[in-house]
Structure 1
Amino acid sequence: MPFTIQNELKTRDDLAKFLRSLLDPLAQHTSPGGALLTLGATGTHYDERAAQLEGFSRPLWGLGSLLAGGGTYDGVERWVRGFASGSNPDSEEFWGPMRDKDQRMVECSAIGFTLTIAREAIWDPLSDEAKANLEAWLGGMMAKSMPDTNWLWFRHVANNRRPPRGAKNHDEAPRTKKHHHRHDYYNTDDGSPHDPHDRQQQDYYSSSATNHAHQLEEKKAAKNDHQQPKKNNKHPAPRAPHDAQHYDDQQRRAIPFGRSSTYRFAQASFWGALAYADVELPAPLTWGAVKGYLLRNLRWWLTQPFLSGDGIVTIGFGYPNHNMTENYNSPGSPYWCCKAFLPLALPADHPFWTSAEEGIPAALPETVALPHPLHIITRAGGHTFLLSSGQMCAYPLRHSAAKYGKLAYSAPFGFCMPVGIGGIEELGGDSTLALSDDEGETYRVRRVVRGAEIQVLESSGVPVLHSFWDAWADTEVETWLVPPTAGSLWHVRVHRVKAGRTLRAAEGAFALHGQGRDHRALPATDPTQGDGAVGEKGFSLAASGAGAVGIVDLLQETRNGVAVRVDANSNLMVPRAVLPTIIGEITAGTEVWYATAVFAVPAQAGKYGAPETWVKAWQTKPEIPQEILQIIKQ
């Protein structure tokens, strides 16, 4: 039987109960000395002892918050013992000394944070010898080099958050000015954070789960110490609360996008960090809305099978899935999700807790263009998804094209990643234009974007994403992405392919749950009459309990439709998915225009399938915007 947690998640006590239900199962996986947690046998690019430290440290984001807010946990002594044995060079459970660019540095952020806000429960019980060992171990990273990335935050947090009583202060002064300057480099002009490797990644990890949270936590620390935040740092990004609101849908889901998705509800931790930092909320945001964004997201996660049979948070997203991970995801990595418990550090009379929970603000626009992440996000027709162009990964990352380079990302339908290179079933080709020069054996998809911008159509005021990418040196793709008009269930994609070679082009819609009421694969029958998945000349359509998804060729009707049953565990949300796709052929030396309309409507909460009106909406095809149509006809 799967491990389940029953919790309404409405109150402060409910949130504390949820945290304890995640901490309790860790006891049976904890070493005798408490310093090492072995939660699985899979590997990472760093050593096993660092992975076991990760299992120890990351739950501290939640435990420290619980203790700081006056809560209690019967198992806290496991971590007190662990600090003593893990930092003791003579212990069999010693975490090991710091080396240059050591994963141990990352884990110091949770440790430093917890030693500060929960020092009475964690630091004070340690012996003088244990305190000295722990200080020496933490201080060991000060002279070591680290990546010029958000890792600088981890050293900064560990150094600045040391217990003020009885703790040696390791001087960070020679590095402080440089590091604060680098922190600013990792923000856009208005303070919105991005992945420090370049300025072309903005996702949950670079914002909600790390940079935003650390900036807000530092703001609170400076306030508590009666200091001003560092002059050069932006706390927090002025646009951040505005932008973050658009990524959640009415059914409590956040749009999956980018790396580190296995941290799951850490994607919502920004809302708790806002409350913890006591920021002044910009209108129309209220504390009731902030509370709603966090708690609704956590409630949705409680409906997903993300726990192992003994209650351990697994690697994966909507279900256990190692295919979608990065090489830095150990079995303990997913406990970064515990950053979502930061509101437990707030007193019960904080407005976050005393305010009545509110839904998505009515004043929030249905469609919005966000210039820094180059996203156009919409909730039109009850489907929350984003159109994306311009983001890319500047370093090797597993499935980076799938995590950043797709044309669209959906809250209810998620996205797919390849499981191999042997054909369209292994491609994970949702929301992509995939090109093959070997008759479909292998495909290339958009990864490196040569140029991208948000344009506004003069005739309608609708924002459009315009971008270029090169599939090969002799093959260029230019793409326009057009969001739905008000209430529509369609978005439009227009591609100009200048092909220097003969190609097969496969374009996918969103992937959706590929089983019907009978728990069997969707039959090849008319989806407008019930569960089914079909592909015919010019279109493909599928319907299941998850909703309805389709794709149509608007311009030529020369492409053939096929309902691709993507290989198991391709999709982030569900292990078995079907993908409506249309496939065309391109002759070498030609320029081809494709105009594609993608239809999608998710199931309503608590109901099976899409609303009955979806069939009529499917039969009403959208039009290509006149400005783009004029370019096609030139």
Structure 2
Amino acid sequence: MMLPPEDRRLSPRTGWTRAHWEATADHMLDAVNRHWSPRCARIDLPGEPSRYGLVSDGLEGFARTFLLAGFRVAGGGDPALLERYAWGLAAGTDPHSPEAWPRPDELGQAKVEAASIALVLQLTRPWLWDQLDDGVRARVVDWLATVIGQPYPPINWVWFRIVVESFLREVGGPWSQEDIEHDLALHASFRREGGWLSDGEERAFDHYTGWALHLYPLLWTHLFGIPDSLCSQETRRTWTDDLTRYLDDAVALLGADGSPLMQGRSLTYRFAAAAPFWVAAITGTPGPEPGLLRRAASGVLRHFVDHGSLEPDGVLRLGWHGDWPAIRQAYSGPGSPYWAAKGMLGLALPADHPVWTDVERPLPVETQDFTRVISAPGWLVSGRLADGIVTTINHGTDHALPGDRRADSPLYAKLGYSTATMPAVTDNSVVLLDSAGAASHRAGFETVFTEEMPGGVVAGASRGPVRWVDTSADDSPDHGSGREGEIVEGPAVLVVSVVRGGVEIRLVRVDGETDARLRLSGWPVAADTRPRAEIADGVEVSVSGARLRSELCALRGFDQAGVHTGTGTSPLGKYVATPWVATAGPVARGDVLAAAVRLDRGHGVMTNPLLLWHGNEIVLRWSDGPDTRITLPDP
């Protein structure tokens, strides 16, 4: 891909301008041209098919690249980009065509792709819909109308039906006000504190909050003629306020290198994480300045382009940086990664929009060290100017409900996620180990508190009964949740985190009798060469590799230390090394154990506070700041 020269005057942080975005979009669209089906109803991309089959995957390739072509044309690109898509609409909606699409009432995945098709048809009406033959328009309406009255999962999918039926309403087709009112009510039930939304009733906080649940509402009111009787001005103001507050967190969750947080399902959508920034620009939502919105979005896109997400043939395959099939979920197919096109929505804006012409503004992590609490997902967020890494310590997200008895989802239930590490097998956990060495699970825990404290300290706690789950018989499709199986009950475990200056002090108390050992693990380091590990005095562990350092220091109660090393478990490197500390024997009921946990680029020395305790009162005495006092809940 040939990119224009960087412009460090307009874009001092990334060097990227609209011209770089256009070049990337055009390269992506050119790369899929060789994969069109004969009648252009499918884009059949290389790779292992999804569980829904090749025809569904081909429709997915069509619909998701259609998003990118539509954004490009709406923002001033060549309308000829839509020509093949017009042919595909004619063939795909013809029930007698050899390339007929499965209808949304026949295949659930078609409900997803119908929304992308309807959205782009609305966005590009003068160039595409208004130019189609009457017969083709009638068939498209008939195909889309099969969504009416159909069941939809009570998650972000509600917006797929809202978008489709709203387009049908715009073009004089059938639609159901009852459907839309039902789906809007479900969306309202997803709202949580601070402008966040959960992807359903569970504590499912991830990138879907931004690239789906904040993407569609304001875009819907902006692109479609929605009457106040269907969506009141008060509701619109609520959505605007929610997006404003969410974006304040979203820009803080980006690393200085442009990496989004590596947490949650569907990570193969990659730079779709930029979508909510563009929604704000398109709809004029108050919040981050246009230069900060572009810096955030350009940082995300450039991060993936620079790290080889586009293969040598230009195709975006399942993976993170490059091709890594293990990132797939059951619904993932070769066309799935092209939902990344949502993150290129800004191309629909004209070139003279302030988001393209204003000078880039720095991200929060590029201005100073910071900590913050994000209450809805229960995250303690820490960013450091020196290395540009953002970490979240998790005491509120597990893709489950309190009392859930499933196994942990590694994408949701770990104690830590960051912009520099991908969840591995054993990282960021506090587990009990049974006699066979099997680790316990904590999903379904209760969030005890999350709190901002004096001296730049944030603290949080979670507690719940742990369990051992044998998931070997659970062969259900992987949609990101924890798996079920035969359960062996364990005691309640309390975990408290106190974060300051990028260091987490992790306190653990087992509130029950057990003959199990306790193990606490830190951040994983992935590298193409085996990371270097150092163990000092049996209680301090440091792992370094790929300009990353993970440190773990036992402060109380642990008498063993080591490093777990695996291969082929991360898209960030061949080897993954994770430090751990553990007790040599069973942990005593009510005893408080503690360790210091840190992730950085190798700058500076980890300075641990003095740990004092008396009953349930814990004091952390920092060498350069006020004491932090924590009162543990009663057992």
User: Given residue 222 of structure 2, which amino acid in structure 1 is its aligned partner?
Assistant: K
1:407–1:331 CA distance, 2 compared to 1 (3 A): same
Q: Tell me, in whole angstroms, the C-alpha distance in 1 between the residues paired with 2:298 and 2:24.
A: 11
Q: Which residue of 2 aligns with 1:521?
A: 530
Q: Which residue of 2 aligns with 1:466?
A: 461
Does the 8 Å CA contact 1:511/1:571 hold for their aligned counterparts? no
1:622–1:338 CA distance, 2 compared to 1 (3 A): same
What are the ranges of 5 or more consecutive residues in structure 1 without an aligned counterpart? 417-427, 524-531, 603-609
Does the 8 Å CA contact 2:448/2:460 hold for their aligned counterparts? yes
Does the 8 Å CA contact 2:526/2:570 hold for their aligned counterparts? no
Which string of whole-angstrom CA distances, capped at 9 and with x for unpartnered residues, describes residues 506-559 of structure 1? Answer: 3221111335xxxx4245xxxxxxxx554750121112232221101011341x
1:586–1:305 CA distance, 2 compared to 1 (3 A): farther
Q: Which residue of 2 aligns with 1:219?
A: 221
Does the 8 Å CA contact 1:492/1:624 hold for their aligned counterparts? no
For residue 414 of structure 1, report the CA deviation from its aligned partner.
3.0
SS in 1 for 2:306: coil
For residue 461 of structure 1, report the CA deviation from its aligned partner.
7.1
Does the 8 Å CA contact 1:507/1:583 hold for their aligned counterparts? yes
2:504 pairs with 480, 484, 491, which one? 491
Q: Give the TM-score normalised by the residue count of structure 2.
A: 0.85
2:294 pairs with 285, 291, 294, which one? 291
Q: CA RMSD in A?
A: 2.9
Q: Is residue 356 of structure 2 the alignment partner of residue 343 of structure 1?
A: no
Equivalent positions of 1:155-554 (< 5 A) are 155-162=161-168, 164=170, 167-188=171-192, 191-196=195-200, 198-205=201-208, 207-222=209-224, 230-231=231-232, 232=235, 234-236=238-240, 237=242, 238-279=244-285, 281-282=286-287, 285-360=288-363, 366-380=370-384, 382=387, 383-394=389-400, 401-416=409-424, 428-440=425-437, 442-457=438-453, 462-472=457-467, 473-484=489-500, 488-515=501-528, 520-523=529-532, 532-534=533-535, 537-554=538-555
After the TM superposition, list the runs of 4 or more consecutive aligned residues in structure 1 that deviate by more than 4 angstroms: 3-9, 224-229, 361-365, 395-400, 532-536, 629-634
For residue 435 of structure 1, report the CA deviation from its aligned partner.
2.6
User: Given residue 34 of structure 1, which amino acid in structure 2 is its aligned partner?
Assistant: C
User: Given residue 125 of structure 2, which amino acid in structure 1 is its aligned partner?
Assistant: R
Does the 8 Å CA contact 1:481/1:492 hold for their aligned counterparts? yes
1:293–1:633 CA distance, 2 compared to 1 (3 A): closer
Q: Tell me, in whole angstroms, the C-alpha distance in 1 between the residues paired with 2:588 and 2:538.
A: 25
Q: Which residue of 2 aligns with 1:595?
A: 594
SS in 2 for 1:554: strand
Equivalent positions of 1:83-98 (< 5 A) are 83-98=89-104
Q: Is residue 567 of structure 2 the alignment partner of residue 561 of structure 1?
A: no
For residue 265 of structure 1, report the CA deviation from its aligned partner.
0.7
Q: Is residue 143 of structure 2 the alignment partner of residue 137 of structure 1?
A: yes
SS in 2 for 1:160: helix
1:7–1:110 CA distance, 2 compared to 1 (3 A): farther
Does the 8 Å CA contact 1:450/1:470 hold for their aligned counterparts? no
Does the 8 Å CA contact 1:540/1:551 hold for their aligned counterparts? yes
Q: Tell me, in whole angstroms, the C-alpha distance in 2 between the residues paired with 1:95 and 1:82.
A: 10
Q: Tell me, in whole angstroms, the C-alpha distance in 1 between the residues paired with 2:229 and 2:343.
A: 26
1:215–1:129 CA distance, 2 compared to 1 (3 A): same
SS in 1 for 2:143: helix
Q: Tell me, in whole angstroms, the C-alpha distance in 1 between the residues paired with 2:203 and 2:546.
A: 36
Q: Tell me, in whole angstroms, the C-alpha distance in 2 between the residues paired with 1:365 and 1:348.
A: 34
Q: Which residue of 2 aligns with 1:420?
A: none
Which string of whole-angstrom CA distances, capped at 9 and with x for unpartnered residues, describes residues 90-138 of structure 1? Answer: 0111112332671111111111110011123332343222211111100
1:578–1:84 CA distance, 2 compared to 1 (3 A): same
User: Given residue 502 of structure 1, which amino acid in structure 2 is its aligned partner?
Assistant: D
1:475–1:364 CA distance, 2 compared to 1 (3 A): same
For residue 429 of structure 1, report the CA deviation from its aligned partner.
1.0
Does the 8 Å CA contact 1:477/1:497 hold for their aligned counterparts? yes
Q: Give the TM-score normalised by the residue count of structure 1.
A: 0.85
SS in 1 for 2:556: coil
Q: Which residue of 1 aligns with 2:482?
A: none
Q: Tell me, in whole angstroms, the C-alpha distance in 1 between the residues paired with 2:128 and 2:536.
A: 60
Does the 8 Å CA contact 1:541/1:551 hold for their aligned counterparts? yes
Q: Which residue of 1 aligns with 2:50?
A: 44
Q: Which residue of 2 aligns with 1:622?
A: 609
Q: Which residue of 2 aligns with 1:419?
A: none
**Higher fraction of strand:** 2
Residues paired across the two proteins, number: 582
For residue 474 of structure 1, report the CA deviation from its aligned partner.
3.3
Worse-matched range after superposition: 80-89 or 114-123: 114-123
